[in-house]
Chains A and B, each alone.
Chain A
Amino acid sequence: MTGISGRRRERFPGFDVVAQASKWDPVTAGSVLARLGPQPDVSFFTPAERAVAAALLDQLLGQHEEPLVPAAQMVDARLAVRQTDGWRYEDMPEDGQAWRDSLSALDADADGRFGSGFVTCSPKEQAALVQAVQDLGSGDWHGLVASHVWSLWIRYGCTAFYSHPQAWNEIGFPGPAYPRGYKNPGIDALEPFEVRDAQPSDNPVRDGA
């Protein structure tokens, strides 16, 4: 697994988390490296739902170029074994059903607005559909509170994406740290295996990402 390539400018050139895997304890390595191999062949979604979920998650996570983190597969595997966060809003069904309902609602929106399923909409159209859900805030969306749907999507999406070493490469995070630990904490202090940000003043807030 190599660093993120293709998208924008790389901030941590050459940084490769997995190159350090021999320094991780075996239990952690097993758990993290499993994310790079084939995902378990269990599925909660139907193939059609899986396709909508994949398109939605790629939108939410800005995944428009290879290599992609298999976010939909990771979400699907979680739902298949009912690995929830242990709570749901009272006005939402259990997470699996909520995913199902919201994917079908998204497909219905796509059809109503662009006369095509969500998957076959252009990326721009998909983005507009997703934005429309966020814009509803706590308003109603197909009988669900839009912000609660948004929370579900973003939560599952980010948990999948930012558990992947490929995403860590992109943000400069070295991942597992046992048993090695860190020897150089502090401002601007690096470990030998960390890579300094090549664009330290590329501030998304200031520059309006």
Chain B
Amino acid sequence: MRGVRARNESAWLLPNDGTRTSHGLRRGMREFADDDEVDLVIVGCGAGGSTLLQRLARAGWRVVALDAGPFWDPDADWVSDEAGSHHLYWTEPRVIAGDDPIPMGSNNSGRGVGGSMVHYAGYTPRFHPSDFMTWTQDGVGADWPIRYPDLRPYYAAIEQELPVAGEHWPWGDPHSYPHRPHPVGGNGELFLRGAGRLGITAKVGPVAITNGRFGNRPHCIYRGFCLQGCKVNAKASPLITHIPDALARGAEVRPDAMVTRVEIDERTGRATGVHYSRGGVARFQRARMVAVAGYSIETPRLLLNSASERFPAGLCNDFDQVGRYLMVQGAPQTAGRFDAEVRMYKAPPPEVSTEQFYETDRAKPYQRGFSIQTVSPLPITWAEHVAAQGHWGPALREYMSDYVHWSCLGALCELLPQAENRVTLAEQTDQRGMPVARFSYSRCENDRQVMRAAQQVMEDILRAAGADEVITIDRYAHLVGGARMAADEQHGVVDADCRSFAVPNLYITDGSVLPTQGSANPALTIMAVTARAADRLIAGARAGTG
């Protein structure tokens, strides 16, 4: 691990006295003035934004990242409790529409430094090589302007920085992980047992949870609250994997700063900085370059809200691409009932996965596929699962009293990108007067077929493990797309290096740029794409072309 420390010292900059935040580092943080033209201002301090911040700070850039939410301190701000974690989610108003409207909030997006990875489950699989060319290979989706080998070194680098624990991974581009697989709890055990009996290969991992000490980050204590923010510092999020190193290298993180508009010089067509609201005061940060990394909903919303004379339909939206091709993964959850006690809350929810059904199977009527993972919902989320079966009143209570006997799997189905699945601005405005996002989503027939197939496999696995009953709830997870990368400006918003086609000094470095989503959880890929973009940016600046 010595190699990692030389590249990214974050884990060693955290305290090792049982507390989780290096307050000294934050107190000593460099602060830029609004009228100081920084090299780069980043909007959003999540998966993409934080990675970019750390990389550029290391290269000596003067960078500041603004986040709409707080600068979290896991000791003081997070609780080991489901309902008490509501403040981790982005709960400003959003409107959902379409044939299959996607509920948001706790299920989709976060706020504050660390972004959605603060409360993500922690699965960090790579995309498969086929994901970058689904159009060529399967006649669906889109081809990326980069291919898997372009990302391979970045995947490996980020896997070391998080770090990722898991068995040797046989799917996609086979690879190993820096940390050994974790022991599994009851849910993982049943998944492995059921899959084994059906001849389905399932593997432990890949999870961004330390197995053993990593720098000053301790081992996971298997308490099951990963989706509520890890109070242990065992589960990776940029708050502990990239922000400390960025601060130590002179970057600024400015929390509680909501960006409302990207400013463009009408004459030069270049971005000049961002308007933001902090403590109720409207401010403007000048910058030589701007990177937007606010998540697949807020990034398109911000671009659309940054209309100007030059961009009447919204920033970078000359070809009506902004907000389009937004994707979610179909994430049906199937639970199985066992007379034995599973107590699935007693381990991290992310434990075991299979990618055996990830690729297109020519024998099937649908294109692309799905993966299956353990999910282990806590009581409130489990109640949603039970209530979705139509139970209420005494029946709901009765089912719920059976909680300790259930095991739960979740699928991630690749749903196809479609132009009409998109973010637009609603008439409704937020408290600052900024129009809220309206997200319309409808599935196509291929999408429905993949979700049904995934449900069938999950039911088979749980029954093979010994479940006498199974129940399923249809869900969706992981928004990506909305400002995708493409070969040209008629098909996307940014190029292969995440630079916008329309504004030469404007970058987008978050999940919005993904043209397809595979059946893999997206955070690792978002970080890898951003790390690559950062390298290109740094190289370009050195060459004088940036």
Contacts and interface: CB of A to CB of B under 8 A. Distances in A.
Contacts of A168: 379
B391 interface: yes
A25 B89 CA distance: 22
Contact of B405 (A185, A194, A200): A200
B392 A134 contact: yes
B419 interface: no
B82 A205 contact: no
Given A88-B96, A158-B384, A171-B400, A178 B91 contact: no
Given A87-B104, A162-B383, A178-B80, A185 B340 contact: no
A34 to B, nearest CB: 9
Contact of A181 (B104, B222, B339, B400): B222
A1 interface: no
A203 B184 contact: no
Interface string A68-112: 000000000000000111111110001000000000000000000
Given A32-B84, A162-B383, A206-B468, A187 B341 contact: yes
Contacts of A206: 337, 468-469
A71 B272 CA distance: 50
Interface in B220-254: 221-225, 231-232
B383 A31 contact: no
A109 to B, nearest CB: 17
Contacts of B184: 185-186
A181 B231 CA distance: 11
Contact of A204 (B392, B393, B395): B395
A167 to B, nearest CB: 7
Given A32-B84, A87-B103, A196-B341, A159 B380 contact: yes
B401 A170 contact: yes
Contacts of A24: 80
A203 B93 contact: no
B79 A27 contact: yes
B189 interface: yes
B183 A185 contact: yes
B86 interface: yes
Contacts of B337: 203, 205-206
Nearest to A182: B346
Interface in A175-209: 175-191, 194, 196-197, 200-206, 209
A87 B89 CA distance: 11
A130 interface: yes
B431 to A, nearest CB: 10
Given A25-B80, A31-B84, A170-B401, A203 B105 contact: no
A125 B285 CA distance: 61
B403 A173 contact: yes
Interface stretch (A43-51, A54-62, A114-122): A54-62
9 contacts: A86-B106, A90-B97, A154-B392, A162-B379, A170-B397, A172-B343, A175-B81, A177-B80, A182-B221
Interface of B: 75-84, 86, 89-97, 101, 103-106, 109, 183-186, 189-190, 221-225, 231-232, 337-343, 345-347, 378-380, 382-384, 387, 390-405, 438, 468-469, 471
Interface of A: 7-8, 11, 24-25, 27-28, 31-32, 59-62, 64, 83-90, 94, 127, 130, 134, 154-155, 158-163, 167-168, 170-173, 175-191, 194, 196-197, 200-206, 209
